[in-house]
C-alpha cells in the first residue's frame, strides 16, 4: 500500500466525493481523520473505513475557523502520531444570480470553501514545516472556478481563489518539500443528480451500470470513485515532483490545466489611447475574446431524459 504509515485529514468527508477520497486514502494504507458537521454521517464514514480494515476517527465541526483547523491537525497527531496529508474538500452551496445573492449567501460559501481551505492548509503547513515532514496538500477546485457558471458568484470566487492560493503555496512550501496541488473533479454529486442533462448518467450509475461513453469520454464525467485515485496519487511519494498544478479528472479523462496566460499580445508605441484601443479591438484583437462558462455539447437523442414532474 503506497500510503502505509501516513496520516491524512480530509475535510467534508462524511459523504459524497470527500468520503470517496477518505476511503481511497485508507485503502492505500493511510489513517484518516474524517470531518463533517453531522455526527451520524461522520461516524458512518468512520465505520465504513474501519469495517474495510482501515483506521479512521471523526471530528464533527464546521470548517472555516482557525479553531476547527487546529482541532483537525491536533486530532491527527494525538490519534495517529503525525500528519502527512491534508485534503481540503469541505464546501457548501448557496446558488443564486448576482442581483439576488445576499451578503450571507456570499459570506457563507467564502467562509467554508476559501477561508476553510486557508485555515486548514495553514495549520497543516505549520505542523509539517516544524516537524520536517515533506507533506502533501491537496485542495479541491471546480470547473466553475476555472470558467465560471451561471448563478454561482460565491462558489466561482471561492474555487478560483483556491487555485490561486495553491500556486502561491507551492512556491512558499517548495523548500520544505511540501507539495500543494488542486484537483478539479467532474463527477456525479447531489448537485448534478438534479440536472436533467446528466439524468442518463445518474440513472446508469444508480443501477450499478457504467455511464454511457458520451459522459465518461466526451464530457469526462463519472463517479466519485473515478476521482479518488488522483487524490491518493497526489498524496503519495510518487507525486513528489508535482506541485502547483490544477489537475482535472472525471470519467475516463485526465487533464492538466494551463495556468492563465495571455491569449493575444499587441504593442503600441507610447501606450494606448482610447482611439488606439477602438482600432485594436476592431482589427488585430477582433475575435480574441475568450469564452466563459462550461461548453456542453448537445446530448445524443438516446440519452435525453424527460424532466421529472
Which positions are catalytic?
155
In contact, 227 and 188? CB cutoff 8 Å: no
Burial group, residue 188, by CB count within 10 angstroms (0-12, 13-18, 19+): buried
Sign, CA dihedral 183-186-188-193, equals positive
Kindly calculate the radius of gyration of the chain based on its CA atoms and give it in whole angstroms: 21
In contact, 25 and 232? CB cutoff 8 Å: yes
Q: Number of C-alpha atoms within 13 angstroms, CB side, residue 288?
A: 12
**Residue of 105, 81, 80, 86 lying closest to 95 (CA atoms):** 105
User: How far does Cα 276 stand from its chain's mean position?
Assistant: 42
- Residue 281: all three cell numbers together: 479591438
- Residue 203: all three cell numbers together: 440513472
Gap between the Cα atoms of 248 and 65, Å rounded: 28
Residue 271 is classified by DSSP as -
Amino acid at each position: 500500500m503506497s500510503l502505509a504509515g501516513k496520516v491524512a485529514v480530509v475535510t467534508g468527508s462524511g459523504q459524497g466525493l470527500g468520503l470517496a477520497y477518505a476511503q481511497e486514502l485508507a485503502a492505500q494504507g493511510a489513517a484518516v481523520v474524517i470531518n463533517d458537521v453531522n455526527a451520524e454521517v461522520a461516524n458512518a464514514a468512520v465505520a465504513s473505513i474501519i469495517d474495510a480494515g482501515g483506521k479512521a476517527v471523526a471530528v464533527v465541526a464546521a470548517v472555516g475557523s482557525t479553531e476547527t483547523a487546529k482541532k483537525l491537525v491536533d486530532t491527527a497527531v494525538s490519534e495517529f502520531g503525525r500528519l502527512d496529508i491534508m485534503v481540503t474538500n469541505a464546501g457548501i452551496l448557496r446558488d443564486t444570480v448576482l442581483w439576488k445573492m445576499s451578503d450571507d449567501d456570499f459570506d457563507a460559501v467564502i467562509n467554508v470553501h476559501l477561508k476553510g481551505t486557508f485555515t486548514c492548509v495553514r495549520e497543516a503547513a505549520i505542523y509539517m514545516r516544524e516537524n520536517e515532514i515533506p507533506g502533501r496538500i491537496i485542495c479541491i477546485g471546480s470547473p466553475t472556478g476555472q470558467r465560471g457558471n451561471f448563478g454561482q458568484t460565491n462558489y466561482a470566487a471561492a474555487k478560483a481563489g483556491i487555485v490561486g492560493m495553491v500556486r502561491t503555496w507551492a512556491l512558499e512550501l517548495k523548500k520544505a518539500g511540501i507539495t500543494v496541488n488542486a484537483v478539479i473533479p467532474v463527477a456525479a454529486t447531489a448537485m448534478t443528480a438534479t440536472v436533467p442533462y446528466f439524468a442518463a448518467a445518474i440513472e446508469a450509475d444508480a443501477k450499478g451500470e457504467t455511464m454511457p461513453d458520451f459522459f465518461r469520454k466526451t464530457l469526462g464525467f463519472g463517479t466519485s470513485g473515478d476521482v479518488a485515485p488522483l487524490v491518493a496519487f497526489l498524496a503519495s511519494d510518487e507525486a513528489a515532483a508535482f506541485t502547483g498544478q490544477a489537475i482535472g479528472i472525471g470519467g475516463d479523462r485526465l487533464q492538466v490545466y494551463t495556468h492563465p496566460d495571455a491569449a493575444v499580445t499587441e504593442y503600441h508605441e507610447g501606450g494606448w489611447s482610447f482611439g488606439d484601443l477602438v482600432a485594436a479591438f476592431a482589427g488585430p484583437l477582433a475575435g480574441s475574446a475568450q469564452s466563459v462558462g462550461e461548453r456542453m455539447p448537445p446530448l445524443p437523442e438516446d440519452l435525453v431524459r424527460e424532466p421529472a414532474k
